[in-house]
Every structure is written in structure tokens, then in C-alpha cells.
Amino acid sequence: MNDLFENPLKVINTGLKSFSDNIRSVGADSVHLDWKPPLISDAVLLNRIKSNKEIIDVANRKALDIVMKGKPLLTGLDIAAKVIPGMHPKMILHSGPPVEWKDMCGPTRGAIIGALIYEGLASTPDEAEKLAASGEIEFDPCHEHNTVGPMAGIVSARMPVFIIKNETFGNYAYCTLNEGLGKVLRYGAYSDEVIDRLRWMEESLYPSLKNALNDLGGIDIKALIAQALHMGDEVHNRNRAATSLFFRIIAPALVRTSEDKEETAKVLEFINGNDHFFLNLSMPAGKACLDAAKNIKNSSMVVTMARNGTEFGIKLSGTGDKWFTGKAPVPDALFFPGFTKEDANPDIGDSTVTETYGLGGFAIAAAPAIVQFVGGRAADAIKYTLEMYEICIGENSVFQIPALDFRGTPTGIDVIKVVEKNITPFLDTGVAHKNPGVGQVGAGVVSAPTEPFVKACQEFLNRL
């Protein structure tokens, strides 16, 4: 005890902030904890965490290790119905947890209308809506089919998809090709220009890329992400560097395999003109790595985190296939001129797979160019990333943040830490208009709601 009297007093203050200020004002050292009460107050459950700490730690280490060992490779492209498990002509995949047509939000409905027209199953929006409501179409989450989709995340049978193979564990993940910004299907738009672009993607972009990739043999997506983080991307809301890197690799192969110079030029222009082209590669890369870490007994790591515009859902490695859901929040965003928060749809999309994989909002400190989403200062972005270390199992071995002296990104969300510290994942996001057919109205950030994490943690602890 007498050691205390012989060393300078250094105080960690929890609770009333003024106590810490007072200590500092007399010249002593103190740090203040921005403490919040845990999300679960049931002492029995909290004790269960303590008494099972070791087995949980071991399981989580194993789960994180699998995620980090994953090696996502872009091996090719194909048509959804041919490669996505369980896909059929009357099936439509959507983002987030399961949701019935009657509960679907505007953008998801809009995108489904567009997809049904694109598939030739309906010729007008009215017809499409009737068909969607008829029960004839099977809706299912992308996540249940080794697939992820940004925003509405709509995938239909004829759509071309990227194929990502996790080289280490042999599993696959799929994602459609990114359409660009503005009036696009994934934000719920379904006008002629949207359908025409989808057709061009199927008829021109897809075969060109497929041929080019055959020529290249495959692209290491993990290495591209690692480089992009050093170049100012977090590969969720900013993909400019990663898209550029992809362009540098794909361009010679596209030219080499070209059958029509003009078409190849259009393909190159399309990729070049769409900063978010790479998003549809960073997402399935994360999916492929996280899927390999599913079903590890006693692991409280989050393996799935996705929204369908109505509900926000998560899955844990240690609780199998069960979704834990809560109401999806409306993001804080910067809105395009003419739009306000009133127009915004609740949070939507599978793109939170990037955060689940230690990227996106978790790596926002690497992306100073988009700090206007988080308060305008680079320091704000760093603050958010630092906060995410609090709820993660570990730090990434490959993805690093230059501004944090190349510290690995916070990776592997631990639902127990989320609940104990009352900190939910910080997510970058795009914002869709709440009505079908309008499209994107802004971009911003959002904190995940607490409810899914509380439910998941309770179930996890009860199963121990």
C-alpha cells in the first residue's frame, strides 16, 4: 500500500467528469473514462461472462484467426442462377435479415420491381408489385446464399455476379456488379435508364470482365484493400483508391481480350467513372472470410451484420444461423440538395459486412477525405476508429491505418464487449429515399442499434 505514497498519483476517473478536471487543475495526472452503463444489467448473465471468460476468449481467438487467415481471391464472374447456391428464376435475394414483402421498405420494393422487370417477369411496375405480393416469388436474404448486396441488395437469377474464393478455406462468396451512383436499382430506382444500364452490364460489362479475368487468372482482393487503406479508402463509403488500383490491374487484360475497341473503352470508362465499383468486391471479400468463421462453439464474435431497411440483424459465430434483430435506425447524413432527414429510409444494406470485417467505419481513421461525414475533422475520424478497438477481439494483421502509426484495424466484433461497454458498431452508410423509385439522397454514418446485440448476447450467454 505504501507504494502509492511514494509514486506520483495517477488517477483513472469514472463517473463525474469534474473530479478528473479538479485533479488536473492541481497539477496531478488523471484520465477520464467516458463510461456508460452496460446494456445488460442482469447480474446472473454478467457473472456467466466472468465464469466462462477463458473458453470464450479461446473461441474468439480461433474465430478471429480464421477471419484473418482468409484469403479472398476474385476468381471470375458468372450468372447468379448458375453459381449462387439455391438460386432459381423465381427467387429474389435482398439485403439484411429475412423480411416479407408486406414489411419491406420503399427502396427494397423499388429494387424488386426493377428486378422483376429486368428478369422479364413483369412489364410494368404495377404488374411487378402484384407479382411480388402474390407469393409466387421467393424472397430470401443474400446472406443465406453466400451472397452480399449493397443497399437493397437485390439479386435476381439473370444478374452477373463476381465470384470470390476464400483460398485458405475453400468457401465462396458472391456479389453483383456495382451500377454507379444516382438513380440505381440498389437505391430503389427502377426507371428505364436503370433497367437499360443493368442490361448493358449483363451484355457488355460482364463478358468483358469475365474474359479479362480469365486472362489474368484471378485478383488478390485482400492485397488491394490493404493498399487502398494506405491511400485514403476505408472501402465502404470511399473506394476511389481501391477502384483505381483495380482499374490498373484490369485495364491491360481488358484491352488484351477485347473484341470491340469501342465496347472495351466503354467498359473502362464505366469502371473509371464509378468510384464505388470496388465496393462490390470489398463486400464479398469480407463475406468469404467471415463465413469461414461461422459456427465456432462459444465464440461471441459477430459474423453477420446487415440491414434490410426495416430491421437491423446480426448473427454470432457461436449461435449458429439465428438472426437477432431490432429496428433499423435512420442515419445521420449529409443530404443531396433538396433532401432532408425526412426523406431518408432507415438504414439498409449488407455493406456493413465491411465493418464486420474490420473496415468501413472501423477504419475511418484511414480515410480523411470523408471526415465531413463525422464532424469535419480528421481527429473525429480517429476517435471513431479508436472507439471500435474497444469492442473488437483484436487488430488486423494486414489492414493498417497510417494515421495510427500503421496499427491494424479493429477486427472481429465481440458482442460481449458491445454489451458490457454499451458501445455499438460505428457504420458508414449511404442513404436511400424512403419511397420506391427515387434513389440515393445522401451518405453518412450511423451507430448500430443496441437491440440486436442485447438479444444476441442474452442468447449466447444462456447457451453457455
Residues near other proteins (CB under 8 A) are 1-5, 7-26, 28-39, 41, 46, 379, 383, 386-387, 389-390, 421-423, 449-450
Q: Which C-beta is closer to other proteins: that of 28 or that of 265? A: 28
- For every residue of 197-234, DSSP letters joined together read HHHHIIIIIHHHHHHHHHHH--EEHHHHHHHHHTTT--
Rounded (10°) angle between helices 106-118 and 125-133? 110
For the bound state, the minimum distance from the C-beta of residue 362 to other proteins, rounded and expressed in Å, comes to 14
The C-alpha atoms of residue 392 and residue 415 are separated, in whole angstroms, by 9
Q: Which C-beta is closer to other proteins: that of 46 or that of 403? A: 46
For the bound state, the minimum distance from the C-beta of residue 306 to other proteins, rounded and expressed in Å, comes to 20
Neighbours of 22 (CB within 10 A): 13
Neighbours of 196 (CB within 10 A): 11
The C-alpha atoms of residue 30 and residue 389 are separated, in whole angstroms, by 22
Q: Are 394 and 357 in contact (CB under 8 A)?
A: no
Q: Which C-beta is closer to other proteins: that of 207 or that of 329? A: 329
The C-alpha atoms of residue 210 and residue 218 are separated, in whole angstroms, by 10
The C-alpha atoms of residue 373 and residue 381 are separated, in whole angstroms, by 9
Q: Give strand ranges (E) for 171-316.
A: 172-176, 219-220, 302-308, 311-316
Q: Which C-beta is closer to other proteins: that of 276 or that of 417? A: 417
Q: Which C-beta is closer to other proteins: that of 18 or that of 272? A: 18
Q: Which C-beta is closer to other proteins: that of 13 or that of 176? A: 13
For the bound state, the minimum distance from the C-beta of residue 39 to other proteins, rounded and expressed in Å, comes to 6
Q: 5 — alpha (psi -120 to 50), left (phi > 0) or beta?
A: alpha
For the bound state, the minimum distance from the C-beta of residue 386 to other proteins, rounded and expressed in Å, comes to 6
For the bound state, the minimum distance from the C-beta of residue 48 to other proteins, rounded and expressed in Å, comes to 14
For the bound state, the minimum distance from the C-beta of residue 446 to other proteins, rounded and expressed in Å, comes to 12
The C-alpha atoms of residue 93 and residue 102 are separated, in whole angstroms, by 16
- Return the closest-CA partner of residue 69 out of 388, 313, 288, 262: 288
Instruction: Say if residue 48 is exposed, middle or buried (CB neighbours under 10 Å; 0-12, 13-18, 19+).
Output: middle
Neighbours of 261 (CB within 10 A): 9
Q: Which C-beta is closer to other proteins: that of 2 or that of 51? A: 2
Q: Are 388 and 255 in contact (CB under 8 A)?
A: no
Q: Which C-beta is closer to other proteins: that of 421 or that of 434? A: 421
Strand-pair partners of 333: 444
The C-alpha atoms of residue 366 and residue 231 are separated, in whole angstroms, by 8
What's the grid cell of residue 107?
427502396
Q: Which C-beta is closer to other proteins: that of 115 or that of 388? A: 388
Q: Are 113 and 132 in contact (CB under 8 A)?
A: yes
Q: Which C-beta is closer to other proteins: that of 98 or that of 329? A: 329
The C-alpha atoms of residue 464 and residue 462 are separated, in whole angstroms, by 6
Q: Which C-beta is closer to other proteins: that of 13 or that of 178? A: 13
Indicate the DSSP class of residue 27: T
